[in-house]
Amino acid sequence: MQALRLADLAQTFELQLIGDAGLNIVGVCALLPGKPGHLSFCADARLRAGLAQTRAAAVVLAPRDAKTFSGNALVASDPAVAFARIAGLFDERAKFTAGRHPAASIAEDAQIGAGCWIGAGVVIEAAAVIGANSFIGPNCVIGRDTQIGAGSRLEASVYLASRCRLGARAQVQPGAVIGSRGFGLARAKEGWIEVPQLGAVVVGDDVEIGANTTIDRGALDDTVIENGVKLDNQIQIAHNCRIGAHTAIAACVGIAGSTQIGQRCLIGGAVGIGGHLKIGDDIVILGRAMVTKSLSVPGAYGSGLPVMPAREWRKLIGRVRRLPRTEQRLQAIEQALKIKLSDGDSEVEHDDF
Amino acid sequence: MQALRLADLAQTFELQLIGDAGLNIVGVCALLPGKPGHLSFCADARLRAGLAQTRAAAVVLAPRDAKTFSGNALVASDPAVAFARIAGLFDERAKFTAGRHPAASIAEDAQIGAGCWIGAGVVIEAAAVIGANSFIGPNCVIGRDTQIGAGSRLEASVYLASRCRLGARAQVQPGAVIGSRGFGLARAKEGWIEVPQLGAVVVGDDVEIGANTTIDRGALDDTVIENGVKLDNQIQIAHNCRIGAHTAIAACVGIAGSTQIGQRCLIGGAVGIGGHLKIGDDIVILGRAMVTKSLSVPGAYGSGLPVMPAREWRKLIGRVRRLPRTEQRLQAIEQALKIKLSDGDSEVEHDDF
Amino acid sequence: MQALRLADLAQTFELQLIGDAGLNIVGVCALLPGKPGHLSFCADARLRAGLAQTRAAAVVLAPRDAKTFSGNALVASDPAVAFARIAGLFDERAKFTAGRHPAASIAEDAQIGAGCWIGAGVVIEAAAVIGANSFIGPNCVIGRDTQIGAGSRLEASVYLASRCRLGARAQVQPGAVIGSRGFGLARAKEGWIEVPQLGAVVVGDDVEIGANTTIDRGALDDTVIENGVKLDNQIQIAHNCRIGAHTAIAACVGIAGSTQIGQRCLIGGAVGIGGHLKIGDDIVILGRAMVTKSLSVPGAYGSGLPVMPAREWRKLIGRVRRLPRTEQRLQAIEQALKIKLSDGDSEVEHDDF
């Protein structure tokens, strides 16, 4: 990687430069301790104290921090976004030579676009179409009649099933499985009958799919992942789900069949979402929440009992379990006092889970 | 896929035909909107309204719906089961040519049954035995001395360890790992000692194993998956578990070591089951439940606090945590009133978790 | 595997022998029913009753059990540790022949140490270094500039990314992904921008990594797994985490970005740990707990509502949700009685989750 001049970075990304325009930047680094010759960034009030101590050669920062910073800087309205774009220039993954490793197995009628690299151990089946400038890393499997958009990167050991579509600029991490059989079963007298899963998975443009994430194909219709969706590792998306554009989902989330998630949602880690639900646009679900009903009002949602010392937790669960008794005690007192604030001790049944 | 006559379907699956016996069916589809030339089904009262609107050429339906339906129909006592069987005729996965891809690595003394397909990148180690008419998809690894029953399908990138057994008609999705080392450790002064895992995994007939599901081999005895078990994606089954016949387990479930699950159980998504427990037959565990004790009485079990708006949730957790205080307040009132409904404020310790 | 004399085992592992010194041991087995010719062990008071019934030829046991046991025995202060070490002699995985399968793809400038086995379908990229006597099983992928310490075993289908380091004697189970892209995103007007993940994963010596576990590479700095860490299956470790030496983590745990876990911790199955937290040394977190704040005091922590019959659970959740009402009722009574034990009904906001 050759060095880039600070002035060139400022020009390319339309940022204001403060300090030494001729400074050579050889890489990017964290703010603390920072590395000589490298560019860092400060996007967060918590990190501001580090500006005085960093050993970085230059820092991308916000206008308000620029006033007091004495070092070399690029000023950006959104330093995190500007830094992400600059850092991309130093990402060596982006550079590869076109070609096919001799240990790849490519069907004769598969179409491989110009500028693609097909790695060792890759298997590409009949009539698959790979868009230009894509990188298919070692041991990936691309099924029959499947299409991948231009500029995509399947890092390694990705499985993409037959008849699926992956949009342009997809980023797929190792071990991801796209298009596995949906878990469709019918109960017959002699046991379970497998319901054939004849739909596909259709993925939009600019989608990221994390390591060991699984997306099942639809039963009759398709499972759909819209443009700009970002999926972390070890997510499970069941058959016939639809994930709306620009929604980001953290690791270990499970989404049951036929559920629809809206656009621009943020789903925290290890959230579980039941089947046949509808989650609206702009909904934030905090980590580990248990979603058993549809949500339509934008805003943040959560559930779960956070950790406490184990002895205290066990006693507390005992108290939760005797809430029926606690309510009875309360009612007895109310009756003795002839107080009637309560609506009584009716045993409410909830229909939302 | 050539078309199938409705009359032939009726005869093959012993269903009553209503309407045009000579109708050609070219595929299957969802009830709404439905596709001309395709067969759909209605197995659910919620879908019944769609019968009047479907564009499907014919529908599999229940006797009670047949009375009012004016289109072409196949009448079945269980429409979901009948439709699943018919749809299987249109599942192209079932069709493959026998042979071995030249890029497969097969040990000389491995036995490959008649009619099998061995895909590119497959590695089959010494003395493995593959039953007739099985499909071993690209990049699968079959360990030494392992046996696979006839008519099985390992879709792609499946790992099946040495000395394991997989029954007939197994369906294994991509990325599944069967026979990984159990997590057996002994704590010595210098750190953890690995306890060798010398058992195997023994899987019965007609078992489905989902994408990226992991099943550890036993420590001394075997991990056992009985006939007809259906496992969804991303399930973890630890060493020495036994899963009873015809039990179905949804995605993201984790089962700790040496736990036994009975027959015909239904385990919902993301359930966690502790180690050394015994779950009886015909038990239903609802999604995301936390199982810390054995269960023997058939029926449905659940746990967990479902989602609510985050602000409300945080306040509610505050109230749960002050239940000790709430009970104290109640007791003070009872003492003042000389009411004694309660058994007091003894701090109950539970031994079941 | 040839037989080993009981006397030789006693001498090798410095254990006291009781009974037939010339006894030939051909393998190891569970205590019940036990197998003739095999060695078993009793490390647990619950198993002690089995000593009288075992068919094992000899048993490793504690001094207190040796007094009453009439069979052949090896006496050990820690029978589980002693047995684990002996059982290792019978683990055939440890034996392999050095060499390279012709279907491996190894970069010309990769350095493969003496005594290594490189399996079929393995891909080793440029400048990778594999320490002596390591086993790289079928279909593993080792990235560019990555180093693996001596005596390591990558079972099969493991992905180890570029520029990572794995210490000596690593044990990595199938499907593990080490060095996938961290889930780093910046929100721009047009959607998510990927923040390049330029750090690596650095793993110490004697680390075990389970099947389908994923460890993301750091954003700018590295993700670090210290010496002697043991990771079970399907664990997710996000970018820039640090896991302290000799910590053991059970299956299905998810740890969000930049969190630090101390030394000698025990993390139970399916625990979720939020990002940017600090968990101290010697902390035990019970299975399925939800960790939303840092923990520094050694000891056991837990959370979650354990399973109960579904009908009872639904009612109980109704009662939990009406705790605000319950507290109001209590306050009304206190006001009527002019009792004031409570601090009132202030709506506490918690800052720890």
Catalytic residues of C: 239
pLDDT of residue C349: 47
Structurally, chain C folds into a number of domains equal to 3
DSSP string, C173-231: -TT-EEEEPP--EEEETTEEEEPP----EEE-SS-EE-TT-EEEPPSSS-EEE-TT-EE
Q: Is C350 a domain residue? A: no
Judgement on whether residues A289 and A325 belong to the same structural domain of the protein:
no
**Does residue C46 have a pLDDT over 60?**
yes
| Whole-number percent of chain C with pLDDT over 90 | 90
Domain range enclosing C322? 310-344
Q: Is A350 a domain residue? A: no
If you measure CA to CA, which chain B residue comes closest to A353? B306
Q: What is the mean pLDDT of chain C?
A: 94
The one-letter amino acid at B150? A
pLDDT of residue C347: 47
Closest CA to B301 of C308, A222, C338, C26: C308
Q: The domain spanning residue B244 has which CATH number?
A: 2.160.10.10
Q: Is A352 a domain residue? A: no
pLDDT, tens digit (0-9, with 9 covering 90-100), for A181-192:
999 999 999 899
B52 in reach of chain C (CB within 8 A): no
3-class secondary-structure state, position B312: helix
Q: Which residues of chain B have pLDDT under 50?
A: 342, 344-349, 351
Judgement on whether residues A61 and A189 belong to the same structural domain of the protein:
no
Q: Is C352 a domain residue? A: no
A342 in reach of chain C (CB within 8 A): yes
Of C265 and C94, the one with more pLDDT: C265
* A59 strand-pairing partners: A40, A73
pLDDT, tens digit (0-9, with 9 covering 90-100), for A303-343:
999 999 999 999 999 999 999 999 999 999 998 888 765 45
Judgement on whether residues C20 and C154 belong to the same structural domain of the protein:
no
B44 in reach of chain A (CB within 8 A): no
Q: How confident is the model at residue A2 (pLDDT cuts 50, 70, 90)?
A: confident
Q: Is B46 a domain residue? A: yes
If you measure CA to CA, which chain C residue comes closest to A328? C326
Q: State the average pLDDT over residues C315-329.
A: 94
pLDDT of residue B20: 97
Neighbours of chain B (3+ CB pairs under 8 A): A, C
pLDDT of residue A347: 47
Judgement on whether residues A64 and A201 belong to the same structural domain of the protein:
no
Judgement on whether residues A43 and A148 belong to the same structural domain of the protein:
no
pLDDT of residue A345: 46
Q: Is A178 a domain residue? A: yes
**Between chains, do B183 and C155 touch, taking CB under 8 Å as contact?**
no
Judgement on whether residues C164 and C26 belong to the same structural domain of the protein:
no
3-class secondary-structure state, position B290: strand
| Predicted ipTM of the assembly | 0.95
pLDDT of residue C265: 98
Judgement on whether residues B103 and B88 belong to the same structural domain of the protein:
no
Judgement on whether residues C88 and C212 belong to the same structural domain of the protein:
no
pLDDT of residue B92: 83
| Whole-number percent of chain C with pLDDT over 70 | 96
Judgement on whether residues B153 and B249 belong to the same structural domain of the protein:
yes
pLDDT of residue C141: 98
Q: Is B257 a domain residue? A: yes
Judgement on whether residues A223 and A289 belong to the same structural domain of the protein:
yes
Distance from B297 to chain A by nearest Cα, in Å? Answer: 20
Q: Which residue from B30, B173, B323 is facing A180, i.e. has the nearest CB?
A: B173
Judgement on whether residues B202 and B294 belong to the same structural domain of the protein:
yes
Q: Which residue from B123, B175, B183 is facing C250, i.e. has the nearest CB?
A: B183
Contact C199, C180 (CB under 8 A): no
**Between chains, do B320 and A315 touch, taking CB under 8 Å as contact?**
no
pLDDT of residue A217: 98
- Tell me the C-alpha distance between C284 and B319, whole Å: 26
pLDDT, tens digit (0-9, with 9 covering 90-100), for C260-290:
999 999 999 999 999 999 999 999 999 999 9
pLDDT, tens digit (0-9, with 9 covering 90-100), for C160-185:
999 999 999 999 999 999 999 999 99
- Tell me the C-alpha distance between C106 and B222, whole Å: 36
**Between chains, do A246 and C105 touch, taking CB under 8 Å as contact?**
no
Show which of B63, B93, B123 is a domain's final residue: B93
Chain C, residues 164-203, CB within 8 A of chain B, namely: 171, 173-175
pLDDT of residue A46: 83
Judgement on whether residues C210 and C78 belong to the same structural domain of the protein:
no
- Those residues whose C-beta lies under 8 Å from the C-beta of residue B207, and which sit 6 or more positions away, are B166, B167, B170, B171, B225, B227, B228, B229, B230, B231
Give the range among A88-92, A294-298, B339-343 with minimum mean pLDDT.
B339-343
Q: Is B352 a domain residue? A: no
Q: State the average pLDDT over residues A89-115.
A: 95
pLDDT of residue A349: 47
Structure tokens at A252: 């270990």
pLDDT of residue B340: 67
**pTM of the entire structure?**
0.96
Q: State the average pLDDT over residues A63-86.
A: 95
